[in-house]
Structure 1
Amino acid sequence: MTTAVRWPASARYEDAESNAPGGLGFVQDLLNTASLGKPRQADLLDSVESARQWLDSSFAVLHQVDPGAPAAPDDLDADGLRHVLSLRDDLRTVLSAHPPEGPPSGAVAVSVPSIETTAAVTLGAGGARLRPQGAGVEAVRSYTLIQLVAASYGGTLRRLKVCANPRCRGAFYDRSKNCSRVWHDVSTCGNTQNVRAYRARLKERGLSSAQ
């Protein structure tokens, strides 16, 4: 079921059909704070001020879909922003490391970072739950990884993808039945890549015939 909320970063590139469900939508929104699209949108983590504005907006949406989520950091500084940027970059690297269609021919091996955090496990009438730990940016990090763990066990993590077009790399949630979507937007990213590949094949044939 598609949520009707509009995540501030992801809404610049996608409609609600491509929103990840629940708290996983926040992870997608974090990834989409980057400068993506054509024309390029601004990087929402370019400064402490813009990062604070995004955090406030994104957490307002998050609390609509997950009232138990931690509060947005209210003391973000330059060091905290550096940690948020590092988390965003590491997440993109991890999600890009093993695309569903397999590594492209001639691909260079990617060093996948290990993202770590702390979380509390509570056991109650509803079963076991992971709860974020820490304050400020560390709570954001803890919540983000909890959402990824939950999605992994729930079988939905494979649907959170990064566009296969290296000039895009936008994050999207693949709702296709067989989870086969690889492009952020097939009409732009897909066509661009297909045209580029076609021209490369023509160039290669031309070189081969000239030999």
Structure 2
Amino acid sequence: MTAADRPSPLAPHPAASLVISFVNTHAGGSGEQLENADGLRQWLRAAGHPDDAVSDADAATAREFRDALRTLLLAHSQNDAVPPDHVAHAEARLVRISDNAPLHAVTSRTTTTLVPARSGLWGAFGAILIAITELDRAGMWQRIKACRNEICHEGFLDRSRNASAIYHGPGCSSMVSMRAYRQRKKDSQ
């Protein structure tokens, strides 16, 4: 892929929405959407991968996958609170997930595309892994981040020109600044 073929970092990438929607199944005050099989079924339907046979154990696997992704996205935000061993552990969890989410390469005369080899839950996991691969090939994987505000950690696409955004929005940035100001004021008393 040449630089001319890459989408602008300031424009949304189609693969980003799937990854971000999955990571944001537990963001800030919205609560845990993957708490049980019912919540996972709802997310799978909304993501276009319906699976009525999922269990609470599958929901736990989905949370593990999501939390590993969130750890990597926090690392993309240069979050010093994420130690290197946590990142390595998250990467190992993603490898275990990918072992169970087989992909097929569909090759034509002009292109090769990866598609999930399974449907339902593992098809959704495969689609997320494919989306991550597409984002990496487009030079945008490092721009998918998690908000550094410890109360939020919402996933977002960093559309700043220099890829320096660390908060998903000005509200979180203000909240962190105010919290730091109050702590400095308290420490000086």
TM-score range, shorter chain: 0.7 to 0.9
Whether 1:29 aligns to 2:29 is no
Higher helix share: 2
* Shift in CA distance, 131/58, structure 1 to aligned 2, threshold 3 Å: closer
* Shift in CA distance, 19/162, structure 1 to aligned 2, threshold 3 Å: farther
Using the size of structure 1 for normalisation, the TM-score is: 0.71
Identify the match of residue 182 of structure 2 among 192, 195, 199: 199
> In structure 1, the residue corresponding to 2:86 is in which secondary structure?
coil
Q: How does 1:105-116 map to 2 (within 5 A)?
A: 108-112=83-87, 113=90, 114=92, 115-116=94-95
Q: How does 1:112-127 map to 2 (within 5 A)?
A: 112=87, 113=90, 114=92, 115-116=94-95, 117=98, 118-127=102-111
CA separation in 1, counterparts of 2:84 and 2:142?
20
Q: Over alpha carbons, which structure has the higher Rg?
A: 1
Following superposition, the deviation at residue 199 of structure 1 comes to 2.9
**Equivalent residue letter for 2:16:** L
**Which contiguous aligned blocks of 4+ residues in structure 1 show a shift greater than 6 angstroms?**
none
Q: How does 1:10-159 map to 2 (within 5 A)?
A: 20-36=12-28, 40-59=29-48, 71-99=49-77, 102-104=78-80, 108-112=83-87, 113=90, 114=92, 115-116=94-95, 117=98, 118-159=102-143
Q: Which residue of 2 aligns with 1:170?
A: 154
* Shift in CA distance, 46/19, structure 1 to aligned 2, threshold 3 Å: farther
Q: Contact between 1:20 and 1:160, CA under 8 Å: does it hold in 2?
A: no
Higher relative contact order (CA 8 A, sep 6+): 2
> Which 10-residue stretch deviates more, 168-177 or 109-118?
109-118
- What 5-or-longer segments of structure 1 have no aligned partner? 1-17, 60-70
**Equivalent residue letter for 1:50:** G
Q: Contact between 1:97 and 1:110, CA under 8 Å: does it hold in 2?
A: no
CA separation in 1, counterparts of 2:20 and 2:82?
25
**Equivalent residue letter for 1:170:** E
Superposed CA RMSD: 2.4
CA separation in 1, counterparts of 2:71 and 2:82?
14
CA separation in 1, counterparts of 2:141 and 2:25?
19
CA separation in 1, counterparts of 2:70 and 2:82?
17
Following superposition, the deviation at residue 108 of structure 1 comes to 4.2
> Which 10-residue stretch deviates more, 169-178 or 127-136?
127-136
* Shift in CA distance, 58/92, structure 1 to aligned 2, threshold 3 Å: same
> In structure 2, the residue corresponding to 1:46 is in which secondary structure?
coil
Q: Contact between 2:44 and 2:120, CA under 8 Å: does it hold in 1?
A: no
